[in-house]
């Protein structure tokens, strides 16, 4: 899919740029990071706001309609015009791994069907940001993990991780798992606002975790997102993300085609 990954895609999707946002765990902030990156990319190219799309292959834990599913949050926080059902064709209410939530709902998920559900989105957009469910080794179907979907899509991965104590181990293990499967890793984003984050005032590790992850993995840490990010304003979310993260690696991972006026990344 992406020319930036070493993997060979065998997915029946149009060839294009893409980034798969995975994490060290559920609740680490993948949705807010995915929305934030989409908001940044779309703000950089306002004339081509349709160029960057978002896909959540399978979501679990909420019912569509009350604004709490990831697809609904992504639409609002990134300022998308798609219907949430277009962003995610598979929604299961049980707060469980997708494979288990689907089984409970009597649905037999296959990775081929999941990928096929994204064909309209991939035809509509030139660049896709894809948010996984939970961490990379979460069961997606009866046979495959989320990491198998990343491999099939052939996209580079971004790892979202907590900023506090414990994140070095979780992040290095996630990097090892993805590398062992041949996935190219574009970077790591640390998040100080993750649901189970410790207070950064009481946690001296937050000052050194990014450097440790870079030292032991060689993967760039783009920065640390602060807590309190807004999910209701794509413009504010984009501005605060630009201030917090070094987005040069994002731009390298997702080279944008020049706009009609000749403008490329600013
Ligand atoms: N930096 C932040 N600022 C404000 N709220 C945040 C931030 N990071 C995470 N949150 C909140 O923490 C909760 C968990 O984050 P989020 O839903 O993005 O995690 P996730 O990794 O996407 O989880 P899942 O595996 O369910 O997809 C959400 O309520 C989210 O709004
Ligand atoms: C229910 C959660 N919110 C999430 C699935 C997390 C599964 C975690 C399984 C595990 O690691 O043990 N669903 C989702 O991202 O749509
Ligand atoms: Mg999420």
We report the CATH number of the domain holding residue 231 as 3.40.50.300
pLDDT of residue 242: 96
The predicted structure's pLDDT at residue 250: 87
Per-residue pLDDT of the chain (266 residues; tens, 9 = 90+): 333 343 445 557 776 689 999 999 999 999 999 999 999 998 887 655 558 999 999 999 999 999 999 999 999 999 999 999 999 999 999 999 999 999 999 999 999 999 999 999 999 998 999 999 999 999 999 999 999 999 999 999 999 999 999 999 999 999 999 999 999 999 999 999 986 656 667 899 999 999 999 999 999 999 999 999 999 999 999 999 999 999 998 888 886 654 444 445 54
Instruction: Report if residue 75 sits inside a domain.
Output: yes
Within a domain: 108: yes
* Catalytic sites, residue numbers: 56
Longest dimension (CA), the chain: 51
Smallest CA separation from ligand 1 atom 13, residue: 195
Handedness of CA 11, 160, 65, 58 (dihedral sign): positive
- Kindly tell me the burial class for residue 250, based on how many C-beta atoms sit within 10 Å of its own C-beta (0-12, 13-18, 19 or more): buried
175 within some domain: yes
The answer to whether the CB of 220 is under 6 A from ligand 1 is no
Domain span at 205: 17-252
Residue 8 domain flag? no
C-beta separation of 153 from 115 below 8 A? yes
Identify whether 9 is part of a domain: no
The per-residue pLDDT for 6 is: 37
Would the annotation count 134 as a binding residue?
yes
* Alpha-carbon dihedral 24, 26, 32, 33, rounded to 10 degrees: 20
**Residue 249: predicted pLDDT:** 86
Q: Is residue 224 part of an annotated ligand binding site? A: no
Q: How far apart are CA 187 and CA 245, in angstroms?
A: 11
Q: Classify residue 6: in a domain, yes or no.
A: no
70 Cβ below 6 A of ligand 1: yes
Residue 32 Cα, ligand 1 centroid: separation in angstroms?
6
| pLDDT at 253 (0 to 100) | 83
Report the distance separating Cα 233 and Cα 244, nearest Å. Answer: 17
pLDDT value, residue 91: 98
Residue ranges in 8-166 assigned as alpha helix (H): 30-44, 70-78, 84-87, 98-104, 111-116, 119-124, 146-153
Question: Is 2 close to ligand 1, i.e. is its CB under 6 Å away?
Answer: no
* Number of separate domains in the chain: 1
Question: Is residue 218 situated within a structural domain?
Answer: yes
Q: Is the CB of 31 under 6 A from ligand 1?
A: yes
- Supply the DSSP symbol for 188: E
pLDDT score recorded for residue 3: 35
Half-sphere exposure of 77 (CA within 13 A, CB side): 27
Q: Token pair 């991780």 is at which residue? A: 161
């Amino acid at each position: 899919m992406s020319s930036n990954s070493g993997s060979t895609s065998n997915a029946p999707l149009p060839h294009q740029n893409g980034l798969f946002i995975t994490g060290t765990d559920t609740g680490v902030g993948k949705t807010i990071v995915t929305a934030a990156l989409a908001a940044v990319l779309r703000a950089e190219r306002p004339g081509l706001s349709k160029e960057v799309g978002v896909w959540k292959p399978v979501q679990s834990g909420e019912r569509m309609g009350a604004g709490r599913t990831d697809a609904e949050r992504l639409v609002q926080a990134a300022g998308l015009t798609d219907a949430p059902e277009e962003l995610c064709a598979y929604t299961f209410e049980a707060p469980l791994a997708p494979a288990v939530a689907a089984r409970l709902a009597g649905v037999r998920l296959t990775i081929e069907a999941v990928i096929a559900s994204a064909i309209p989105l991939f035809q509509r957009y030139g660049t896709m940001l894809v948010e996984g469910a939970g961490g990379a080794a979460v069961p997606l179907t009866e046979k495959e993990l989320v990491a198998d979907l990343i491999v099939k899509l052939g996209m580079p991965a971004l790892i979202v991780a907590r900023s506090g104590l414990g994140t070095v181990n979780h992040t290095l293990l996630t990097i090892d798992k993805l590398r062992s499967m041949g996935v190219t890793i574009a970077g790591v984003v640390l998040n100080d606002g993750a649901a189970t984050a410790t207070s950064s005032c009481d946690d001296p590790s937050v000052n050194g975790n990014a450097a440790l992850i870079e030292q032991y993995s060689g993967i760039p840490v783009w920065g640390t997102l602060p807590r309190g990010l807004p999910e209701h304003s794509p413009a504010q979310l984009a501005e605060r993300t630009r201030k917090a993260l070094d987005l040069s690696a994002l731009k390298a991972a997702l080279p944008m085609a020049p706009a009609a006026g000749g403008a490329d990344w600013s």
